[in-house]
Amino acid sequence: MAVRLNMSALPHIESADVPSYDRSALKPGILHIGVGNFHRAHQAVYLDRLFETGRDHDWAFCGAGLMPFDTKVHEVLASQDFLSTTVAQEADSTTARVTGPMVEFVVPEDPQAIVDRLADPAIRIVSLTITEGGYFLNADGHFNATHPAIVADAKSPDKPSTVFGVIVKALQARRDAGQKPFTVMSCDNLPHNGRIAREAVTGLAGSFDRELADWIENHVAFPNAMVDRITPATGERERQMVREMFDIEDEWPVFCEQFSQWVLEDKFVNGRPALETVGVQFVEDVTPYEVMKIRILNGGHAIIAYPAGLMDIHFVHEAMENDLIRDFLTKVEEDEIIPVVPPVPDTDLNDYHQLTHRRFANPKIGDTIRRLCLDGSNRQPKFIVPSIVDNLERGKSPVGLALESALWCRYCYGETDSGAVIEPNDPNWDRLKEVAQAAKHDPSKWLAMTDIYGDLGKDKVFAKIFADWLESLWQNGTKVTLRQYLER
């Protein structure tokens, strides 16, 4: 019979590994904002491994969040004494471990409570997984100081509502109290995520206090990081599997692949845990690693997502079993992505490319096409558009990437090739759907979204290729259009 996950249940769990360290001796040194599945399958797992070695027990997590969703996360995890079951799956293996590096959670949706917790000198790192859309970026990838939420925080810095408003107020309090600042460590899937976090924090601070912004610029560290572990959403399927396979009643287990990577710049202002002892790669410059991952892996996800979505394919591994989609992915990456990815130390890009294919094809993960299609308005400018620009600058027509863009446009129209309705799947869905419907008759409308494509709509070569592919998708459907591309 399954046991309800909490501290008292740990001695009775036999089918999964459980913490051997004394959780009562853990003390928070990191406040993490955005306690979602990825954080618990990635960053929290590394800390759990570190605590198992018997060291750095003063670097435990305190969770925090500002979104309505975080209230549910807090309720579930608090009822489980902040324990989580992490299930790692490959085609031929499934293992589970209960992890316990989180020991408290600030009451969600209370910015001042987070500020007060950050004022504690024991908190030496603030880490973030707030998704790509949480950084208030312009089309060029820089901080948008005119976003209404940021403008509101700039006008009322003592009553912040955004993550960056909270961080700025907490840093101001620590400066005024003569305390050391904390490091701001982004773990989001963004190129130069540390730089972006720095721009957001200093940009907001500078809008109302130039001295504070300069102090932050000179005293606070914002290391860049590359993070990688495929982690699907949790549903009843996953909860039932944990009950049946491991006799654990976990309200929010996390499923992920075995593979995990974390490359991090060693730039901290107030100490850090010894994560290098448990597999984290510390480097001087993370840029080559993050470009490789974002272009090949995340870009690859986008390449398979939209044709699969239009063909009513549910799971990612099912998309990889489809010859047209798999060959589309291979051709676009080999012809248009890998050639524009700069060299990466001690890494063969073709080997990495093959590794991503094996990871996508993992039948155990249960990752969904809908998840990959999510939030294209924030992901396309980071995962796809840079490769298009690089190809054009080299004088090469990005035919496959233009087709990927057309597939995204066609997906945002709101129905699959079979006529099935595609439910809203983007924070900007209403706008995207309206533009996609207009683009059916005038493709230039789609590329005119300069916040996503920049000036690409003005490139006649790319605009013509895009328009031709979109027309083919409407006239011939996804399967025929993919065949046309593969036969070129």
Q: pLDDT of 261-272, one tens digit each? A: 999 999 999 999
- Helix, strand, or coil here: 64? strand
CATH of residue 257: 3.40.50.720
Indicate the angle between helix axes 163-176 and 111-118, nearest 10 degrees.
40
The length of the chain, given as a count of residues: 488
What pLDDT is attached to residue 365? 87
What pLDDT is attached to residue 132? 82
Output DSSP code: residue 8: G
CATH of residue 475: 1.10.1040.10
CA trace torsion 162, 167, 172, 174 (10° rounding) = 150
Tokens of 39: 């954080």
> What distance in Å separates the CA atoms of residue 80 and residue 239, rounded to the nearest whole number?
14
Which residue stretches of the chain have pLDDT < 70? 139
Residues 12 and 86 in one domain: yes
- Helix, strand, or coil here: 109? coil
> What distance in Å separates the CA atoms of residue 484 and residue 465, rounded to the nearest whole number?
13
Q: What is the mean pLDDT of the chain?
A: 96
Query: What H or E segment, with its residue span, contains residue 127?
Result: strand 125-128
| Residues contacting residue 120 through CB under 8 Å, at least 6 positions apart | none
What pLDDT is attached to residue 137? 85
Residues 337 and 211 in one domain: no
Q: Give me the number of domains the chain comprises.
A: 2
Could you list the residue range(s) of the whole structural domain that residue 324 is in?
287-486
Residues 369 and 256 in one domain: no
Contact 110, 253 (CB under 8 A): no
Residues 266 and 393 in one domain: no
What pLDDT is attached to residue 189? 87
> What distance in Å separates the CA atoms of residue 364 and residue 318, rounded to the nearest whole number?
11
What pLDDT is attached to residue 138? 79
Query: Which backbone phi and psi does 40 adopt, to 5 degrees?
Result: -75, -20
Over pLDDT 90: what percentage of the chain? Answer: 94
What one-character-per-residue DSSP string does 346-410 give? TB-HHHHHHHHHHHHT-TTS--BHHHHHTTHHHHHHHHTHHHHHHHHHTT---HHHHHHHHHHHH
